[in-house]
């Protein structure tokens, strides 16, 4: 009932917002789905809308972009209302099935593709929830043609084991410069196996102002997350060899290692990035689309009534003063204006340009002054009411001073606050023909505070202690984003004071685009050199059963990557080489006991030697009439599989037919498969909410060599997307090694339904 009340509340809020109205603004290039790919800058916001325009069709469309987290630079992107592969967006295994998970949806995940794994965040405990927790530079800001609402809902199963996910988005513009909106996201998966329910609720409020001289982006987000942890099933043979068991178990009856254990996370994020620019205005020729948009705006304006009193001089009006001499009529042929200075000539040219309906006035920023505030607050609890006998190898204290709890109960709590301010000055590209690149210089200060248990010498209890850190860094950026042929971006940052003094990060990327056989070839490359200190929690962590203190060497990472893309053949080839020294990772081990595991322990380690990783990824799509075949094949080779295990091959393939019915309803009917070769995949440590390397050679297991197959019908009708899917359709036959994490089987075959509506005005 509580879940249904939340869903009804979200729907009520979204429906109420549909009644709001906003004034139409000018855009161009609206696709068949109602998405805008570019917004014209020439339109005028109509503040005097009346009922005379009420019979006109409500304009539809939304323009979206992301921002750079450091500078707030705008980066246009695709809206997340794309119909293709909509059914795969609901999985935390990823759209292309490239993530390992603990079986249930919305739980922790880790990418099998090394070059797609981010480095450790400062607060490592929420990083595995990347399906739900979006980083600020991944969030979609909006500019809407009319008030926009999207409601998406998908579910599967029943009240005992099913899933429900609802996401309500709303966006509106008060003017062409000012836009704001919110996103409410609720995901609940009860779990097909015992003690693995996952519940996430997030609320995001955002706004943006994109004026000529002043620009602002603001983002406020809160998340409440709770996941039950079962530690995996006690014996893999319940899945691998069900015929060996005396009785048949349903998935929720299979014994699990843990019960009454939870990961709880409450986190809050606030990002404010704003800038003031100085520059000048100049006249530019409008594109054909912009001319059409201006014409549309003019036609939308209310027309004056014909009965209005004409403005002018009344017939009986008297003229005060002497009349000018009558020198005869002035005709077009003999009228002349004397131009006797450069100022008069420039004024006439400017007036002519302003009167020309094909010209627009554009602000050209020369220098920008930028400030960004990035604030993050976390509160994590690992809580347990019961633990198996001899399960933990170590116990560092018996009770907490503030809670006075004893025995097997666990209440591991840690809190983290970070406040980062960045000041930057930017000389922007494009203000004259010699400014071929932009230049930024910046300085950042970050304050970090940590709280977690600590013990007093000679005592058996723990109390909360606090640690603080400061960092100061400076850096610069050179980039070229304009033009169609060549783009590049070079960023460097050095830490000059604080806990991370001596750290260095250099990143470079570039792309070259040129025509070939009637289409465009793109060659892209990126390189990075990072010399970074491991974060606080990798060096120090205290809890009842896991404890480490110490210092770690700086991790050195060198990354080189090339990308070849040719649209005409739907081909993309990605090749990367990585070299890592002092690779930092978590390792865990345990022994097998009677129907349980014992001597469980986990810790952070470093590999002092060099590890080399070679990656080659081919994306190749084929199309023949209504038949479509999409493929992603990834090859990986790690020089140290004991420390950094990776599957040699990871394959995703999607075969489907696509056709339309009565020119409105689009069908995609087919199936996709995910497959990876066998390897010793990382295990999962629920007490740290982290994936960790299997260290005990007696308990190591291999995963892989099993295809995960889904079949689906994905449909799109005007502003509505919906799908019917049967996931893991092959669960019942042949090999049953459907584990993505050791001892955590995935869900069996499940029927899933989903729908997403777009509403305008």
pLDDT tens readout for residues 544-555: 999 999 899 999
What one-character-per-residue DSSP string does 665-698 give?
EEEEEEEEEEEE--B---EEETTTTEEEEE--TT
Mean pLDDT computed over 230-252: 82
CB contact at 8 A, 742 and 679: no
pTM, rounded to two decimals: 0.84
Checking if the pLDDT of 490 tops 70, the result is yes
At 155, give phi and psi (nearest 5°): -155, 170
Collapsing DSSP to helix, strand or coil, 108 comes out as coil
Alpha carbon 129 to its chain's center? 12
- Nearest CA to 408 out of 398, 416, 417 is that of 398
Look at residue 293 in the predicted model and tell me its pLDDT. 65
Element (H, E) at 14: helix 2-18
Checking if the pLDDT of 129 tops 80, the result is yes
**Position 250 confidence tier, pLDDT thresholds 50, 70, 90:** confident
Look at residue 458 in the predicted model and tell me its pLDDT. 65
**Position 724 confidence tier, pLDDT thresholds 50, 70, 90:** very high
Q: How far apart are the first and last CA of the chain?
A: 31
Look at residue 482 in the predicted model and tell me its pLDDT. 85
Alpha carbon 105 to its chain's center? 18
Higher pLDDT, 3 or 715: 715
Checking if the pLDDT of 71 tops 90, the result is yes
**Position 204 confidence tier, pLDDT thresholds 50, 70, 90:** very high
**Position 406 confidence tier, pLDDT thresholds 50, 70, 90:** low
- Nearest CA to 225 out of 168, 185, 263 is that of 263
89-93, 205-209, 618-622, 697-701: least confident range? 697-701
Collapsing DSSP to helix, strand or coil, 498 comes out as strand
Look at residue 732 in the predicted model and tell me its pLDDT. 77
- Nearest CA to 125 out of 558, 334, 416 is that of 416
Rounded distance between C-alpha atoms, residue 691 and residue 711, angstroms: 30
* pLDDT, tens digit (0-9, with 9 covering 90-100), for 611-667: 999 999 999 999 999 999 999 999 999 999 999 999 999 999 999 999 999 888 999
Sorted by sequence, the CB contacts under 8 Å of residue 27 that are 6+ apart come out as 36, 38, 39, 40, 43, 59, 61, 63, 145, 293
Which residues on neighbouring strands pair with residue 76, listed in sequence order? Answer: 65
Rounded distance between C-alpha atoms, residue 33 and residue 556, angstroms: 46
Q: What is the dihedral of CA 757, 145, 67, 274, to 10 degrees?
A: -130
């Amino acid at each position: 009932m509580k879940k249904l009340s939340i869903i009804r509340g979200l729907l009520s809020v979204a429906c109420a917002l549909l009644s709001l109205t906003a004034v139409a603004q000018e855009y161009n290039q609206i696709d068949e789905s109602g998405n805008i790919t570019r917004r014209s800058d020439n339109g005028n916001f109509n503040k005097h809308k009346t009922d005379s325009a009420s019979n006109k069709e409500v304009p539809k469309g939304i323009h979206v972009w992301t921002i750079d987290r450091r500078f707030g630079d705008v980066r246009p992107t695709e809206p997340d209302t794309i119909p293709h592969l909509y059914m795969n967006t609901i999985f935390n295994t990823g759209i292309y099935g490239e993530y390992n998970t603990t079986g249930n949806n919305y739980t922790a995940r880790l990418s099998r593709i090394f070059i797609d794994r981010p480095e450790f965040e400062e607060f490592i405990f929420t990083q595995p929830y990347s399906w739900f927790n979006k980083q600020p530079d991944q969030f979609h800001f909006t500019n809407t043609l009319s008030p926009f609402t999207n409601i998406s809902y998908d579910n599967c199963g029943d009240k005992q084991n099913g899933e429900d996910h609802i996401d309500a988005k709303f966006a509106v513009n008060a003017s062409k410069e000012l836009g704001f909106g919110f996103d409410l996201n609720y995901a609940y998966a009860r779990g097909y196996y015992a003690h693995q329910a996952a519940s996430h609720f997030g609320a995001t409020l955002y706004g943006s102002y994109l004026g000529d001289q002043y620009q602002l982006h603001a983002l406020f987000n809160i998340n409440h997350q709770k996941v039950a942890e079962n530690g995996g099933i006690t014996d893999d043979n319940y899945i691998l060899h069900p015929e060996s068991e005396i009785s048949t178990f349903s998935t929720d009856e299979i014994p699990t290692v843990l019960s009454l254990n939870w990961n709880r996370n409450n986190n809050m994020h606030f990002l404010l990035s704003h800038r003031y620019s100085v520059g000048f205005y100049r006249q530019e020729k409008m594109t054909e689309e912009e001319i059409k948009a201006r014409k549309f705006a003019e036609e939308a304006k209310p027309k004056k009534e014909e009965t209005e009193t004409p403005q002018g001089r009344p017939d009986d009006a008297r003229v005060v003063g002497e009349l000018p001499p009558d020198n005869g009529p002035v005709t077009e042929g003999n009228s002349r204006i004397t131009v006797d200075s450069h100022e008069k000539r420039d004024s006439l040219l400017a007036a002519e340009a302003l009167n020309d309906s094909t010209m627009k006035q554009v602000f050209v920023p020369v220098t920008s002054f930028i400030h960004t505030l990035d604030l993050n607050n976390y509160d994590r609890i690992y809580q347990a009411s019961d633990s198996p006998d001899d399960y933990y190898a170590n116990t560092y204290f018996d009770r907490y001073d503030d809670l006075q709890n004893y025995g097997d109960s666990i209440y591991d709590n840690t809190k983290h606050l970070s406040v980062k301010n960045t000041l930057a000055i930017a000389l922007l590209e494009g203000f004259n023909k010699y400014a071929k690149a932009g230049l930024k210089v910046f300085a950042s200060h970050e304050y970090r505070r940590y709280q977690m248990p600590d013990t007093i010498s000679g005592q058996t209890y723990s109390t909360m202690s606090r640690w603080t850190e400061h960092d100061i860094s400076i850096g610069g950026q050179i980039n070229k984003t304009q033009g169609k042929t060549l783009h590049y971006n070079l960023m460097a940052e050095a830490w000059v004071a604080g806990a991370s003094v001596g750290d260095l990060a250099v990143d470079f990327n570039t792309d070259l685009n040129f025509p070939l056989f009637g289409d465009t070839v793109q060659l892209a490359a990126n390189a990075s050199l990072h010399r970074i200190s491991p974060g606080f929690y990798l060096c120090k962590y205290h809890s009842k059963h896991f404890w480490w203190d110490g210092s770690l060497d700086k991790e050195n990472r060198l990354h080189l990557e090339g990308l070849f893309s040719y649209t005409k053949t739907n081909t993309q080839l990605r090749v990367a080489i990585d070299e890592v020294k002092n690779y930092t990772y978590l390792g865990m081990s345990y022994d097998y006991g009677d129907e349980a595991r014992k001597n469980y322990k986990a810790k952070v380690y470093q590999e002092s030697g060099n590890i080399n990783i070679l990656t080659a990824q081919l994306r190749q799509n084929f199309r023949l009439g209504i038949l479509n075949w999409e493929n992603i094949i990834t090859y990986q080779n790690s020089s140290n599989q004991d420390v950094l295990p990776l599957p040699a091959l990871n394959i995703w393939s999607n075969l489907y037919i696509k056709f339309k019915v009565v020119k409105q309803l689009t069908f995609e009917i087919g199936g996709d498969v995910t497959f990876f070769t066998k390897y010793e995949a990382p295990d999962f440590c629920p007490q740290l909410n982290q994936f960790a390397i299997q260290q005990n050679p007696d308990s190591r297991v291999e995963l892989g060599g099993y295809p995960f197959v889904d079949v689906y019908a994905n449909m799109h009708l005007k502003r509505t997307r919906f799908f019917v899917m049967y996931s893991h359709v092959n669960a019942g036959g042949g090999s049953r090694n459907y584990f993505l994490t050791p001892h955590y089987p995935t869900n069996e075959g499940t029927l899933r339904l989903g729908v997403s509506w777009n509403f305008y005005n």
